Structure 1
Amino acid sequence: MAFRRRHKRTLDNVWYIAGSCTLFFLVGNLVMFQSYHGFVENSDKRKQKPNDIEDTYNSDHSVFVRELSNELLGASIGNSENSQYFVFEGRMRKLMGNTRDSTHPGIRLTVPHLALGPDGLPSVADNLLDCDHIDNITDQKYIASGWTKAVFKGMYKGRPVAIKTVDAGGQDIKSCMEKMVSFEECYQRASHKIIKEILVLQALPHENVIKVIGFCVPKQRYNGDSNTAVVMVTELGETIDLIKLLQMSWEDRLRISYDVTRLLRFLSSSPLGSISMNDFRRQQFVLVSGQLKLSDVDDVGFGEPSCADDTNCIVHFSSANFTKRMACIEGKCMGYNEQRNLFNAGRHFTTFLLPHGAPVLLRPHIDQLVEAYEQLTMDSVQLVSRLGKVVDMYTRGWYLNRSSPHEQKLEFTVHKESDLPGQFDYRCRFSMSGGGCTLSVFDSLEAESICNLDPDCKGFVMTNQKTWTGRKIVHLKNGMAKPSRNKETDLFVKPP
């Protein structure tokens, strides 16, 4: 089957309305537009009788989706105007009604055109891949498993994607069956976690949340056939670990710290209300083209904890022997989720990523940020603002503190449109590449300064490539030879 096309709406920068709209249309797709189709192998499609439509409304998946939708809508209604809530609810009822009256076999509807975004993938606001499109994903390869999910990678129209489904041999199902529960029931419970992720991820529109590209939710329980597997397709990200983070350049680590802080600012007042990351781990994140994105929302919680007074709003961080009390306002511990998220983000990311290798003149600012994460002296709004200033100072080269004219005089010999491709590359600290000394600089003067401080450096190649802050990329060289012509680069040679 194919899913109904989603039409993008301009909503004057109101996050909760956009999130609510996405959530309602998503629920409509999941409840009403379910299909019987697989994702790993193409198989013959079964023909359904028109009266099979009613069976869909009674399926286990549909019941779960309805219950979860009520939970999510209950979390979001407090952040939206009632008039908007009922407008969307009315539209959803009309959509469901139209689906019931469809003359197509079963509940199969078609999307006449699949619009692709600038990255070559479907725009979530417009269209999602359905079961048929997922069948067209090629070069599928297993890459990893977690507690519940097995993850594959594949190619769709020349672009890499991630395919996530229940790991039938995973720990989630094994631990469930140890409680004398049948395999079928355990699989069903695990598949509901993926359905929850499909809903939640799309209800959180943010650049630091992984993009859902498509999904397939069969109306039947899993019976061992790939046609009955619940599948979610997302952007393909790169996993991160401590060693990989520490090997990154300081600029890349600054980006990760900035990304996670902006994400937590969003989660503190998302379209679904305040969200708590109950199991905050680096494994819940991936890197997509260098950008940090939340990819695992299995254990998120919605809404602040309930309370009778301030004594109910004390959070203790055992790893640091640190306690903080929040205010109980109208029966809720206001800011509780945000503070927990910030503390854990500092422990897993910012407090060890930012200080290591920071420019000298930026270190006082970095120290203030690290203290704010460790002692929770700032909220997410303040932290985003402070980190944004650090990013701006780094981008503008403020940390170079140039004052005398001598510091702004070129000393190296410049060979325009010249290069030394694949020659005289050597390893250096904080390189952006594994096979050479590749760094980002504010300008050629900074590159000269770095090269002068390195006894192995004999010159560098300045490229026209830029990093996420707009800084230029250079390749340091430990030798010289006759250069080759390259319109995209200039060669700078250190004086003897």
Structure 2
Amino acid sequence: MTKWHFGLRENLGDPAPNSDLTLLHLIRERQREIAPFYTFNHVHGSVEVQSTSPSSDPVRSSTLGPEIGCSDLSGVTVVDFLGAGYTKTVLKVVLAQGLEVALKTVNHQGTDMRSCVEDFRDPEGCQDLVSFKLRKEIILLQRLQHPNIVELKGQCQDSTLVGGITAVLEQGTPVQMIQLLQSPWEERFRVCLGLVRLLHYLSLSPLGSVALLDFQPRQFIMVSGELKLTDLDDAIVAETGCRTSSDCVLQFPLRNFTFPCSGSGVCQGLNEMRNLYNAYRYFFIYLLPHQAPTILKPLVDQIMNTTGELKHGVNKTLEAFEEVLRVYKSGLHLQHMPSSVIEDYAVLKGMGTSGNKEYKCWPSYSHQGCMLSVHSAAEAAHICNSHPQCTSFSFSDQKTWTGILPRRLTNKQPACERFPLLCMMSDCEGLAMEEVGIVET
């Protein structure tokens, strides 16, 4: 039996009755779905590039460096299986030059592929059909570039080498909500802030307003503490058409929201509101309120109320998040803390500690002890006073993503007695953890 796909003649096995036109129709529908992304003019800086054919390679911004191609994928070492879904499989691999990346390919054993083969008995045609989700994802990753979207490092389409089309992505780890719930509030806020910044970008993207129809934690990864969107195959760009407001309803398991139909016949803003409420129900509600600094709780509560009721769009939501960040980084939330809390502590320079084992607290940056981020020694002393086990704390020369210094709280005693060396905070902050200890007197 002879069948035509993408203008190529292929000899295939006997198909199911009347399947030829049906499968070909589905493939052409997928072609039409992604064709607008190829004809879109993408301007990056002063360089404008255009791709006009779905059969050509997606355009890559030159600022991202050399693209990894098929020749770089020969001899890769598979390190780990990262996951598989209905359509795609993701592997962690090490390239010959030592670079760790994630390879995303068509899942030949997945539900989509098996269902297609059962219906049409056409493995090669089904490979073409199922691969369109990955093709769509590759071109969207080319067009949509943002710090909270996974970086596309390259691609390959070689049936012999990689078994079809393959996307090469930056390496990350799947989002684990349990781990995030156990992390310090500052890190959980970072995840939510990155998500809102992403949604703001998607609402005004070069392609138009983008909605993520499959919006769940599994669509994201963590890269060096930053949340990044990695699954874009179910994204849509066009706003929903409408005749009346009854056509503009967002339905969720526990809530429905109705929006007006604009004069141009579209549900204006529906995409960004869909994204925002999904961010609220999958991320904000779990990560944002718990253990927020006391002075920030009114701002956080306001964010939770407005997003939970969709009273504001993503622009005002981002403004609210940036205000929380500004207050937190400035230390204004500590302005009512009494400065006298540090008076019961002495600074010991050039000394280690000995005695009991460091105690653990939750949440902490270290699983081996109690390491928290604070703005000053006064805040560290305040926290130490609130922990019955704490008798001292020490400085680290590391900083968190907000620029705040971590402090390690311990129940160890000084290794020897020495007259304390007093120093200003500006003198202490650059010293390593072993060089400065502050103990209760």
The TM-score normalised by the length of structure 1 is 0.73
For residues 300 and 421 of structure 1, what CA distance do their matches in structure 2 show? 56
Whether contact under 8 Å (1:412, 1:492) holds in the other structure is: no
Matches within 5 A, 1:368-379: 368-379=302-313
For residues 165 and 213 of structure 2, what CA distance do their matches in structure 1 show? 25
Whether contact under 8 Å (2:355, 2:412) holds in the other structure is: no
- Find 1:492's aligned residue among 427, 437, 440: 437
1:246 to 2:181 alignment: yes
1:304 alignment counterpart: 239
* Paired residue type of 1:492: G
1:436, distance to aligned residue in structure 2 (A): 2.0
1:293, distance to aligned residue in structure 2 (A): 0.4
For residues 422 and 263 of structure 1, what CA distance do their matches in structure 2 show? 48
Whether contact under 8 Å (2:261, 2:267) holds in the other structure is: yes
1:344 to 2:278 alignment: yes
For residues 453 and 58 of structure 1, what CA distance do their matches in structure 2 show? 73
The CA deviation string for residues 432-486 of structure 1, in whole angstroms up to 9 with x for no partner, is 2222212111112111111111011121221010111111012222223538xx9
For residues 303 and 184 of structure 2, what CA distance do their matches in structure 1 show? 19
Give the secondary-structure state (helix, strand or coil) at the position aligned to 2:359. Answer: coil
The CA deviation string for residues 403-431 of structure 1, in whole angstroms up to 9 with x for no partner, is 65535x44322223445599833321111
For residues 273 and 396 of structure 2, what CA distance do their matches in structure 1 show? 42
1:480 alignment counterpart: 413
2:385 alignment counterpart: 452
For residues 295 and 168 of structure 2, what CA distance do their matches in structure 1 show? 44
2:225 alignment counterpart: 290
For residues 194 and 256 of structure 1, what CA distance do their matches in structure 2 show? 26
1:148 to 2:148 alignment: no
* Paired residue type of 1:198: I
1:397 alignment counterpart: 331
Matches within 5 A, 1:19-418: 58=8, 67=32, 69-72=34-37, 88-89=49-50, 92=51, 125-135=64-74, 137-138=76-77, 140-156=79-95, 157-218=97-158, 222=159, 225-317=160-252, 319-402=253-336, 405-407=339-341, 409-418=342-351
1:12 alignment counterpart: none
Q: Which runs of 5+ in 2 are unaligned?
A: 11-26, 417-429
Q: Report which structure shows greater RCO (CA 8 Å, sep ≥6).
A: 1
Whether contact under 8 Å (1:65, 1:195) holds in the other structure is: no
For residues 403 and 459 of structure 1, what CA distance do their matches in structure 2 show? 19
Give the secondary-structure state (helix, strand or coil) at the position aligned to 1:338. Answer: helix
1:491, distance to aligned residue in structure 2 (A): 3.6
1:118 alignment counterpart: none
For residues 123 and 473 of structure 1, what CA distance do their matches in structure 2 show? 38
For residues 302 and 284 of structure 1, what CA distance do their matches in structure 2 show? 17
* Paired residue type of 1:176: C
The CA deviation string for residues 167-197 of structure 1, in whole angstroms up to 9 with x for no partner, is 2222222233333433333333222221211
Whether contact under 8 Å (1:424, 1:480) holds in the other structure is: no
For residues 465 and 240 of structure 1, what CA distance do their matches in structure 2 show? 25
Instruction: Decide which moves more: 409-418 or 129-138.
Output: 409-418
Q: What's the % identity of the aligned pairs?
A: 31
The CA deviation string for residues 209-263 of structure 1, in whole angstroms up to 9 with x for no partner, is 0000111012xxx4xx444332111111111133122111100110011011111
Instruction: Decide which moves more: 132-141 or 376-385.
Output: 132-141
* Paired residue type of 2:82: I
Give the secondary-structure state (helix, strand or coil) at the position aligned to 1:209. Answer: coil
Change (3 A) 1:196 1:258: same
Give the secondary-structure state (helix, strand or coil) at the position aligned to 2:362. Answer: coil
- Find 1:471's aligned residue among 370, 391, 404: 404
For residues 235 and 353 of structure 2, what CA distance do their matches in structure 1 show? 50
Q: Which runs of 5+ in 1 are unaligned?
A: 1-54, 100-106, 108-121
Q: How many residues align?
A: 400
1:149, distance to aligned residue in structure 2 (A): 1.7
1:335, distance to aligned residue in structure 2 (A): 0.1
Give the secondary-structure state (helix, strand or coil) at the position aligned to 1:161. Answer: strand
* Paired residue type of 1:435: Q
For residues 127 and 269 of structure 2, what CA distance do their matches in structure 1 show? 36
Change (3 A) 1:231 1:476: same
Whether contact under 8 Å (1:439, 1:475) holds in the other structure is: yes
1:395, distance to aligned residue in structure 2 (A): 0.9
Whether contact under 8 Å (1:161, 1:233) holds in the other structure is: yes
For residues 123 and 417 of structure 1, what CA distance do their matches in structure 2 show? 50
The CA deviation string for residues 254-289 of structure 1, in whole angstroms up to 9 with x for no partner, is 001101111111111211111111111110001100
The CA deviation string for residues 46-82 of structure 1, in whole angstroms up to 9 with x for no partner, is xxxxxxxxx998599x9899745532257x57x99xx
1:425 alignment counterpart: 358
Whether contact under 8 Å (2:187, 2:225) holds in the other structure is: yes
1:207, distance to aligned residue in structure 2 (A): 0.6
Give the secondary-structure state (helix, strand or coil) at the position aligned to 2:413. Answer: coil
Give the secondary-structure state (helix, strand or coil) at the position aligned to 1:187. Answer: helix
* Paired residue type of 1:309: T
Whether contact under 8 Å (1:260, 1:345) holds in the other structure is: yes
RMSD of equivalent CA atoms? 3.3
1:348, distance to aligned residue in structure 2 (A): 0.2
